[in-house]
Amino acid sequence: MSGTDQPRTRLTPPEGATPPVRHPDAPAPGELLGAHYDGCFGCGTGQPHGLHLEARAGDGVSITAEFTVKAAHQGAPGLAHGGVLATALDETLGSLNWLLRVIAVTGRLETDFLAPVPLGTVLHIEARVTAVHGRKIYSTAVGRIGAPDGPVAVRAQAVFVEVKVDHFIDNGRTEEIQAAMADPDQVKRARAFEVNP
């Protein structure tokens, strides 16, 4: 195997990977998921230029989400920035945590940009977990223009890696971590991801 083949291979579930299991306490299909953190650029309501992505639980271990491309999200004139589109897919993939009830962070994210996305577009995103192996969670996402069955603009494949709450407590800046830990709603949301709170 050449060095350039390696990253692609790391997105393929290894032998022994198992299908994902929806947690019995996962939100019901159709249920709107709240933000996991108010300051999150992807889903937080406290970020004026954030994506304000709204995600809903789907069937099995899947999520649907909508993201409206605003002026603050442009790359070229009148078009969404590719990194912003990748962020929208990353955030939707991260929301799959709610259904597995584990905390996981993005290890690898590979994005294919298939069509430009104009300002004002509602991007309809669907993400699902395909397999789990140890702490690794394999998932895919697709973003369509204007409707759930609209033209495909962007696709992603990802590996998320399960972590404990300590990952954030140990690595986040003290100010924000202290504020989060002092907020009972935030603590409740963090615990909602844990199998054994």
Question: Where in 4-23 is the site for ligand 3VV (CB under 6 A)?
Answer: 10
> Which of 68, 74, 106, 130: binder of ligand 3VV (CB under 6 A)?
106
> Which of 23, 70, 81, 108: binder of ligand 3VV (CB under 6 A)?
108
Q: Is 186 in the site for ligand 3VV (CB under 6 A)?
A: yes
Sign of CA dihedral 44, 46, 49, 54: positive
Question: Which positions from 145 to 164 touch ligand 3VV by CB under 6 A, shown as an x/- string?
Answer: --------------x-x-x-
Query: Is-contact 94 18, C-beta < 8 A?
Result: no
Q: Which residues contact 41 (CB under 8 A, 6 or more apart)?
A: 47, 50, 51, 87
Burial class (CB in 10 A: 0-12, 13-18, 19+), 160: buried
Question: Which positions from 54 to 93 touch ligand 3VV by CB under 6 A, shown as an x/- string?
Answer: ------------------------------------xx--
Report residue 66: phi and psi, to 5°: -125, 140
The string over 176-195, giving b where at least 16 C-beta atoms fall within 10 Å of a residue's C-beta and e elsewhere, is: eeeebeeeeebeebbebbee
| Chain contacts with ligand 3VV (rule: CB under 6 A) | 10, 36-37, 42, 90-91, 94, 97, 103, 105-108, 134-136, 159, 161, 163, 165, 168-169, 180-181, 186-187, 190, 193
